[in-house]
């Protein structure tokens, strides 16, 4: 199977993340599954007229296209023309190319939250009218219609993340190569469920502090960051703490709160990323599936039962009170 990769309005960070795939590297991994790039703007040598001829051959049906990957948001401005974002050397808007190439592809994959839902490039007043490939924020219908399906019958597959984990991209591509990804394998926002059925909270190294609601107050401290520092790992989908980044890393492992970068409109939470909005002292954003009354009761009991070690360590920048030694049996 072949892959045509377009980079639209974005930073290119998802390609940089993809190149961090390890053991094997991304090119060997894809080649082993019979996947090859027709063209990638950052990885391919071809440019200019040869690329334009390739794109035109796909649209004419002369060059089969298996997977169209789009990275970066699609700009609709000005006035719906898309001409704020031209595909260099073609004289045509990226919007036009995506709309003509997508129906020719067996599968269409939006890579990263800019491509899936608009992402960072759609923040503020969004003067360029940036949208995702098939979503505008959380609303179906972006550069492509809400009811668009590729030749496989699937909607645009939204591999959301800012940037997206390299394994989320490669696993999606490998599943498509094996014809093993169906509508049932996508969640309600068209994200692959192999990572979207997990929460960032799962496997977080701060979970012991969360259980006792022992909270950090500053970014340098090792306690749970939900209560004061804006962490939404208990609500955000992703297996970031199960499938670590670059061998052994994640946002929360590095001491920074989860900002739900796999979700539509994460880029404008209405408050600082490291702030937790509260009402009557209770965080507004509660863990998924937990009623407020249950959370209040659990938090009260947990704080009352917090061991001295956990309470002290939560507001320290390293472990200062180690676990007590188990007393030997007499």
Q: How far apart are CA 96 and CA 76, in angstroms?
A: 10
* pLDDT > 70 in the chain, percent: 100
User: pLDDT tens-digit profile of 77-135?
Assistant: 999 999 999 998 899 999 999 999 999 999 999 999 999 999 999 999 999 999 999 99
Nearest C-alpha neighbor of 14 from the set 136, 165, 116: 165
What residues contact residue 302 under an 8 Å CB cut-off, 6+ apart?
A: 211, 212, 213
- Is 69:4 a contact under the CB 8 Å cutoff? yes
Q: Which CATH class is domain 198-316?
A: few secondary structures
Contact in structure between 42 and 7 (CB atoms under 8 Å): yes
Provide the 10 A C-beta neighbour count for residue 15: 24
pTM to 2 decimal places: 0.93
- Sign for the CA dihedral angle at 233, 239, 242, 245 comes to negative
DSSP state string for 283-315: ESSPPTT--HHHHHHHHHHHHHT--HHHHHHHT
Nearest C-alpha neighbor of 94 from the set 2, 5, 3, 6: 6
Token readout for 208 is 């012991």
- What are the residue ranges spanned by the domains of the chain? 2-195, 198-316
pLDDT in tens, 20-79: 988 889 999 999 999 999 999 999 999 999 999 999 999 999 999 999 999 999 999 999
- Identify the bridge partners of residue 30 per DSSP, sorted by sequence position: none
pLDDT in tens, 246-288: 878 899 999 999 999 999 999 999 999 999 998 877 788 878 8
Class of domain 2-195: alpha beta
Residue 164's Cβ-count burial label (10 Å; 0-12, 13-18, 19+) is: buried
């Amino acid at each position: 199977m072949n892959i045509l990769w377009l980079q639209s309005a974005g930073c290119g960070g998802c390609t940089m993340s993809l190149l961090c795939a390890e053991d094997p590297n991304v090119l060997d991994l894809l080649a082993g599954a019979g996947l090859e790039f027709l063209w990638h703007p950052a990885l391919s040598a071809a440019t200019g007229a040869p690329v334009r001829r390739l794109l035109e051959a796909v649209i004419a049906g002369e060059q089969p296209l298996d997977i169209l990957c789009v990275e970066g948001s699609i700009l609709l401005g000005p006035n719906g023309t898309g001409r704020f974002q031209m595909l260099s050397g073609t004289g045509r808007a990226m919007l036009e190319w995506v709309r003509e190439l997508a129906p020719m592809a067996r599968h269409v994959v939006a890579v990263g939250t800019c491509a899936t839902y608009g992402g960072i490039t759609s923040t503020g007043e969004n003067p360029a009218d940036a949208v995702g490939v098939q979503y505008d924020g959380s609303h179906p219908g972006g550069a492509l219609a809400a009811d668009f399906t590729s030749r496989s019958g699937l909607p645009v597959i939204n591999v959301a993340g800012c940037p997206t984990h390299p394994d989320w991209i490669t696993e999606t591509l490998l599943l498509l190569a094996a014809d093993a990804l169906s509508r049932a394998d996508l969640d309600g926002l068209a994200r692959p469920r192999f990572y979207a059925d997990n929460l960032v909270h799962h496997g977080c190294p701060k979970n012991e502090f969360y259980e006792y609601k022992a909270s950090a107050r500053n970014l340098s401290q090792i306690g749970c960051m939900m209560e004061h520092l804006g962490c939404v790992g208990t609500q955000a989908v992703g297996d970031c703490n199960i499938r670590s980044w670059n061998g052994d890393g994640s946002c929360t492992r590095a001491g920074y709160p989860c900002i739900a970068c796999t979700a539509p409109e994460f880029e404008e939470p209405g408050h600082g990323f490291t702030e937790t909005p509260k009402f009557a002292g209770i965080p507004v954003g509660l863990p998924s599936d937990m009623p407020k009354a249950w959370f209040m009761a659990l938090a009260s009991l947990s704080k009352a039962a917090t061991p001295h070690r956990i309470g002290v360590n939560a507001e320290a920048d390293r472990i200062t009170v180690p676990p007590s030694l188990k007393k030997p049996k007499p």
